Amino acid sequence: MSGTPRSLSDSAGRAADDSVGRHFLLLSGGLDSATLAAWVLHHHPGSAVTAVSFLYGQKHAVELEAARAVAARYGIAHQVQELEPIRGSALTDPDRPLPEGRDLSAAAGVAPSYVPARNLLFLARLASLADAEGPATLWFGVHHDDYTGYPDCRSEFVAAADEAVRLGTQHGLRVRAPFVEWAKADVLRWGLQHDVPYDLTHSCYQGWRPACGVCDTCQARLAAFAAVGVPDPIPYVPRSA
C-alpha cells in the first residue's frame, strides 16, 4: 500500500496546536520534569493535565514517590505505566555500575545512564494512551545539557517524534519539549521564578536519599543550582573533601 488514504487526509495527522485538547506530560520526579509540569500549567491554565510516570526496570523507584508528590502538589492526575524492563543501561542492568565522580565537562559519547530508546518508547505509549481519548499534546522535559550523552534528547529527535506522532495518530497529536534548547541552569532559573517545589523532586541515579552527590545526575543538578546561585533544598550525603 502506498500513499495516504484520502479518507484520512482531512483528520488524521492534522496539525493541532498545543492549546488544543488534553496535556500529557512525562513526569519522572526529577528537576526537569517537575519544571515541565509548572510550565504546562503556566501556559495552559485550566486545561486537563495528566502526568505519566514509567516503570521500566529501574534499579530503584524513589523517583516514583517524588513524581507522586509533585503531581499531588500541582493537583494533576497521575498515572503509572509499567513497561517491560529495558536492558542495556547503568540505570537498569545490575552488572553495569553507575559512574561516580565523572568529569562531565570531559565526558564524550553516549552516557552510561542512557536507556536505549527510552524516550521513543515513552512517547509511543503516551501517544497511544492519549489518542484513544482525543486531541492532546505530549510533553517531555529534555534539555540541552542532555544533548551529547543522550541521543533521544536531541532537538532533531524531538522534531522527528513530533512529526511521527502527528502523522501516526487519529487526532494529530503533537510532541513538545520546551526546554530542548535550554541548559539545565536555565530550566532551574525559570522554575525558581515560578515556585517549582524542588524539595519534592528526586534526581540521584543511585536512588539515595539523602542524594549521593557524585553520580552524573547529582553532579548536573548541583552544578545547575551553583550556576543559579541558590542552594539545593534536598539533602546530600556529607562527604569529606
Under the criterion CB under 5 A, does residue 62 sit at the interface with Zn ion?
Answer: no
Under the criterion CB under 5 A, does residue 98 sit at the interface with Zn ion?
Answer: no
Nearer to Zn ion, 50 or 92 (CB): 92
Under the criterion CB under 5 A, does residue 90 sit at the interface with Zn ion?
Answer: no
Which residues inside 148-207 make contact with Zn ion, applying CB under 5 A? Answer: 204, 206
Contact stretch for Zn ion (CB under 5 A) within 107-115, 119-127, 170-178, 217-225? 217-225
Q: What is the 3-state secondary structure (H, E, C) of the chain?
A: CCCCCHHHCCCCCCCCCCCCCEEEEECCCCHHHHHHHHHHHHHCCCCCEEEEEEECCCCCCHHHHHHHHHHHHHCCEEEEEECCCCCCCCCCCCCCCCCECCCHHHCCCCCCCCCCCHHHHHHHHHHHHHHCCCCEEEECCCCHHHCCCCHHHCHHHHHHHHHHHHHCCCCCCEEECCCCCCCHHHHHHHHHHCCCCHHHCCCCCCCCCCECCCEHHHHHHHHHHHHHCCCCCCCECCCCC
Nearer to Zn ion, 153 or 220 (CB): 220
Nearer to Zn ion, 59 or 144 (CB): 59
Under the criterion CB under 5 A, does residue 220 sit at the interface with Zn ion?
Answer: no
Under the criterion CB under 5 A, does residue 130 sit at the interface with Zn ion?
Answer: no
To the nearest whole angstrom, how small is the minimum distance from the Cβ of residue 120 to Zn ion?
25
Residues that bind Zn ion (CB under 5 A): 204, 206, 211-212, 215, 218
